[in-house]
Structure 1
Amino acid sequence: MPEYFISKLESVVLPVFRSIETLDDLVAYVETKPLPYRRFEIDELRGACLHAARGDLETARAKLDELRNGRSMWCIPGFAEAEVASVVDGLGPALDRGDRAAIARQLATWEEARMAKLPKGFAGIWEPTPFPVEQAP
């Protein structure tokens, strides 16, 4: 049984992981899957984070503005208030200032928190993402 699992991991899972080298690669991969609410480009909640990570602060601010002003499906009362507040409060001030280092720190904090929730084996292979916003002017 372990041999079968390992063979599938090596033949199916690892090639997918190895093909994802950038945020745009990840977005392209996820958008090929039949997962609801995964349109990062148009989704205000995830889009604000994605565009901030890419270094496209203007688009990230526009997405954040939709959240701040309740013009998003995410702002329906009782639906996702904690998630919206997390993005608005966590990313908003850094985006407002155009503080790329603070944006990268917030994204890294969220990434690390997400990894901490996964099974322990993932922490051993995880490497922090180098966000393009850190390299942009």
Structure 2
Amino acid sequence: MTNAKQIRQVFKPLMERHDDLVHLGAGYLWLRPVRHVALRVLIERSSHKDMCTPQWTMVKTFIPGVDLTVSIGQAGYLMPPESAPVPHWIWSDPTIVAALISAIETEALPRLRAIDSLQAFQALYADNPFYRRDQWPENRMIVDIALGDLDEARILCESLEPEIRENRYPDDPWFQKRRRKVLAVAEPLFANDRAALAEILHGWEADNIRGTKIEPYWEPTPFPLETAPG
């Protein structure tokens, strides 16, 4: 299984060369500042002691209840070079550290740095069929609210409300978690109360980040909801 020393061999030179990178433990290398989309490089451990799975990952910081230290979010995999002895990243390959650093610098970091706004993150879904929006409609609704697309958010909310308001599954924790998301925003959404919606989103983001190792690198910023024409 990949260990902390192996990960540091890759991340330490990257941090020395790029002042917008920070390693906060585990297998994540974060781009700073952290805003509405957390951008990371992940060297994911494998059950096979000699293998790892490097990828670049993006996770929204304002979805309520997300654990930013473990949630991978949307991800893209980094492939080993054609010269690698096997079509996998293996630590027994003496060239792996240099190859990983190169792949991260030439593939992962440019992709991540291009995601400089929530709009840029969302544009990936329109421009590339490889990426998908969150499948759960309540999360899609929250993203639409954050983007200021309240008409689309209301359509999604209307499709969810009967099931949610009737509380059809009162003993199902997963359903109750979904229900809380919808009920938190339904009233201000239909009232077109952008200020109240923004306050809710900022609160969710703060709850996810405050008190964690990420907080010193967090930069709260307005949502498109707050800057787009009403």
TM-score, structure 1 length as denominator? Answer: 0.73
| Aligned residue in 2 for 1:5 | 11
Deviation at 1:86, TM superposition (A): 2.2
Letter matched to residue 128 of structure 1: P
1:126 to 198, 211, 218: 218
User: CA–CA distance in 2 between the matches of 1:15 and 1:57?
Assistant: 31
- Of stretches 100-109 and 86-95 in structure 1, the one that deviates more from structure 2 is 86-95
2:117 aligns to what?
Answer: 22
Structure 1 residues 25-44: Cα deviation after superposition (integer angstroms, max 9, x where no partner): 22327x746xxxx523x641
- Unpaired runs of 5+ residues, structure 1, are none
Measured at CA, do residues 14 and 123 of structure 1 come closer, stay the same or move farther in structure 2, by a change above 3 Å?
Answer: farther
Q: Distance in 1 between matches of 2:191 and 2:138?
A: 19
1:12-55 CA distance string (max 9 Å, x none): 765444221121322327x746xxxx523x64111110111111
CA contact (8 A) 1:45 1:64 kept: yes
Letter in 2 for 1:44: P
Cα distance between partner residues in 2 of 1:134 and 1:4 = 39
CA distance in 1: counterparts of 2:159 and 2:178, whole angstroms: 10
Letter in 2 for 1:48: M
Specify the code of the residue in structure 1 equivalent to 2:227: Q
**2:219 counterpart SS class:** coil
Q: In the superposition, relative to structure 1, how do residues 55 and 19 fare at CA in structure 2: closer, same or farther (>3 Å)?
A: same
2:14, 2:168 → 1: CA distance?
Answer: 41
Identity across matched positions, percent: 29
Tell me, in whole angstroms, the C-alpha distance in 1 between the residues paired with 2:151 and 2:143. 12
Deviation at 1:76, TM superposition (A): 8.2
State how 1:1-137 maps to structure 2 within 5 Å.
2=8, 4-8=10-14, 10=18, 11=105, 14-27=109-122, 28=124, 32=130, 39-40=133-134, 43-70=136-163, 77=169, 78=172, 80-116=174-210, 119-120=212-213, 122-136=214-228, 137=230
2:148 and 2:176 map into 1 onto residues whose CA distance is: 25
Q: Which structure has the highest strand share of the two? A: 2
Q: Answer yes or no: is the 8 Å Cα contact 1:116–1:123 preserved in 2.
A: yes
CA distance in 2, matches of 1:76, 1:15: 46
Write the distance in 2 (CA, Å) between the matches of 1:100 and 1:16. Answer: 31
* 1:129 shift after superposition: 3.6
- Mapped contact 1:45–1:84 kept (Cα < 8 A): yes
TM-score, scaled to structure 2? 0.46
Q: Which runs of 5+ in 2 are unaligned?
A: 19-104
State the 1:131 CA deviation.
0.7
**Matched-pair contact (CA < 8 Å) for 1:67–1:84:** no
